[in-house]
Structure 1
Amino acid sequence: MSSSLIDDAKRRAAYKAVDEYIPPTTKVVGIGSGSTVVYVIERILQRGKEANNNVVFIPSSFQSKELIVQHGLTLGDVDAYPEIDVTIDGADEVDEHLNAIKGGGGCHLREKVIAEAAKKFIIVADHRKNSKVLGENWTRGVPIEVIPFAYTRVIMALKTLGCGNPVLRMAKAKAGPVITDNGNFVIDAHFGLIHDPDDLMRKIKMLTGVVEVGLFVRLAQIAYFGNENGSVTEKKSVLYETE
């Protein structure tokens, strides 16, 4: 699949989420991180300045903060707005129950904060991220943010949980590891197919030195996946059905 087709798929998913879940009455919007979120902002801007005048946007990363500021939208933070109407974010992979792996960009701690603060958490992605079981398509592993002091011990502990080769994520344009917006390291831990993400998330998070785990369990209510043929697949979780 060409990059242009992938971009078109991401755009369609993002546009549908904005059109359906950011009505004129919306006051506070959480903006996630990653390539698909660029199209979320694009669609928000297409609504016109008047539609966005009274909306506050909460970023999950430096990237999303820059998008908000550069386009003249009103910037806020979770200290001032601890309750968010809707958060829209991408994902690295989403299973049939809308559990997700996030953190390929290293922003999963802040992403989880604004996801949990939202009344509705919406995922947008292209069809490659749509899986039955986590670990089916995303094979880089679960991103785990750790304090630098503890990363060696955490790597050892992850092996006891069934990860064969936890890897400290290294930077590409500098010598040394990737540093998150929070000043921490990221470990990528591949566990194969993850049939019980809730149990795995709890076990990893109990490890001393772990700040956050890139498993988003029972958070998303709806996911939109842009498809190759121009359609958008919509998946709803039981969280949505029981509202």
Structure 2
Amino acid sequence: MEFRPTKIPVPEYSEVDKQRFLQEIYGVRKPAVLKNLDLGACMTRWTVDYISRKGGGREVKIHVSELPQMDFIQKNFIYRSLPFDVFVHRAAENKHKEFFISEDEKYYLRSLGEDPRKDIADISKQFPELAEDIQIPEFFVKDQFFSSVFRISSSGLQLWTHYDVMDNLLIQVTGTKRVVLYSPRDAPYLYLSGDKSEVLDVDNPDLVRYPLFTQARRYECTLQAGDVLFIPG
């Protein structure tokens, strides 16, 4: 059976301020790509060498996978630790001279608090030297702000299909990111296990195991450096 998903384009808005965001975008409760925002010095400064130098040699815990599609349910990855500067350079490589599993392995960093079970992710605390370069759009009052998660991944990495409870602003600083999103109304078709979906390959799903997935309609976009994606909870 050929799989042809229903795709809904994500609308784009340029030079959005707080008033326009709240009036035209937030209340609609649908994804939106925000372009041409002032995101700070990160847009010109954040090269591989700069990030690794500013972040320094602190140890970070990372996901390492031999496959580009990481699966949280089946755990097809391992956790390892590296100095941050070493990790950044490895994540920028296509082939590795030093590796844990294979020369083609992929890396993923999701910043965590000092105590991952209690502390929320906050880039200003975990990476203050880099946080000062980024200007997060002030669309919400400060007491609504929950966390700021700093992420770096290898090129071509695909994260497991999952959902987030809270509203998100996904800021793409460098590189590009293809994003596929589903409405909460389509949850019955996504084969959820907790907050993760069993459907890992959303482009070529196993329709014998997941026949209802054909009914899920996707929002899809590709973020360029400097784009901000609003993801309603």
Larger RCO of the pair (alpha carbons < 8 Å, separation 6+): 2
Task: Output the TM-score relative to the length of structure 1.
Answer: 0.25
- Normalised by the length of structure 2, the TM-score is 0.26
Asked which structure has the greater CA Rg, the reply is 2
